[in-house]
Amino acid sequence: MGTESELQASVQALVQKGKGILAADESAPTIAKRFAAIGLESNEENRRAYRSLILGTPALSDSISGVILFEETLMQRADDATPLPQLGARMGLVPGIKVDAGKIALALAPGDEITQGLDGLGKRLAGYKQQGARFAKWRAVYNVTDTLPSRAAMQTNAHALARYAAICQEQGVVPIVEPEVLIDGAHSLARCAEVTQAVLHEVFQALFDQRVVLEHLLLKTSMVLPGKAHAQAATPSEVAQATLRVLRRTVPAAVASINFLSGGQTPEQASANLDAINRCGVQPWPLSFSYGRALLDPALKAWGGQASRVRDGQSALLKRARLNAAACQGRYETAMESSG
């Protein structure tokens, strides 16, 4: 029963009232893009400095319970030679690891994508765990049009997510299951709701088939939003109602926590929408956040790659983390954006 109590302890450390999970697991191409935006070269030393800034932020653990890391970060050290996962743990943050190997086109399904990385996953996880990782993340993406995603894409990605989750639990690592319905496109709020409902239904059917214990996993999902190119934006209240309707229809109450991804929203939109969701009364699960860009973009800009501005970067990160912690409890106000 060791694995079970280990999983339970990690779930309790990750799921804390008013706290979310920080996604600092940008892949090499993604971080290069983020760095380019501030005129910084993506080399090993700059990435190490950036991740040291994040994991060394004082008081971050007041609002953040865990941090998802990229594989490279597990091997890196802070200025005082402390391994970065250990630095995070010392600051009260549970270290986690992104384990998927990215997405490719799904064969015979034009426009659909599938995530790779199952081969050798058990062995890799054992190694990550030795380096301090207590939870993992796997992301599946779904492109939305009038005809996409296809049923094949939904079934294939659900099966991969469920196999990943089962392998994690067998290794004593808590899986974060991340099906992301993409915000790109001109689809309506209603179309996004329809796709998200179908996707989540497939995912939980597959998790059930693979005997995954729902109490020992976290769901990282997209909010129900109209596509970026859709003529009509949705208010936070509309997003909240549509999102909760879909979640209540598809996600069993046993799931430990639902942590929303920010997926293309601005930092302010991500906080306002999360807040609106949490103002809708008590739900079967805690409704929190697992944001990447919506937490880190302001920090990246404030830091700008300069050692003299590490504190500025940390202050910007801390501010966004606190605003989202408030949103987790339905206590976020737009006025908070301009204070502190």
As annotated, the active-site residues are 178, 220
Q: Look at phi and psi of residue 302 and say left if phi exceeds 0, alpha if psi is from -120 to 50, else beta.
A: alpha
Question: Angle 77-81-85 (CA atoms, 0-180°, nearest 5)?
Answer: 40
- Cβ(25)–Cβ(74) below 8 Å: no
* Angle of the 293-303 helix axis to the 28-36 helix axis, nearest 10: 50
What's 280's DSSP letter?
Answer: S
- DSSP H helical ranges for 44-120: 44-55, 71-75, 84-90
Structure tokens at 55: 């994991």
3-state secondary structure of 25: coil
- Cβ(260)–Cβ(223) below 8 Å: yes
3-state secondary structure of 175: strand
* Angle of the 44-55 helix axis to the 293-303 helix axis, nearest 10: 110
> How far apart, in Å, are the Cα atoms of 188 and each of 21, 237, 269?
29, 16, 18
The burial class, CB within 10 Å (0-12 / 13-18 / 19+), for 239 is buried
What are the residues whose beta carbons fall under 8 Å from the beta carbon of 108, sequence distance 6 or more?
152
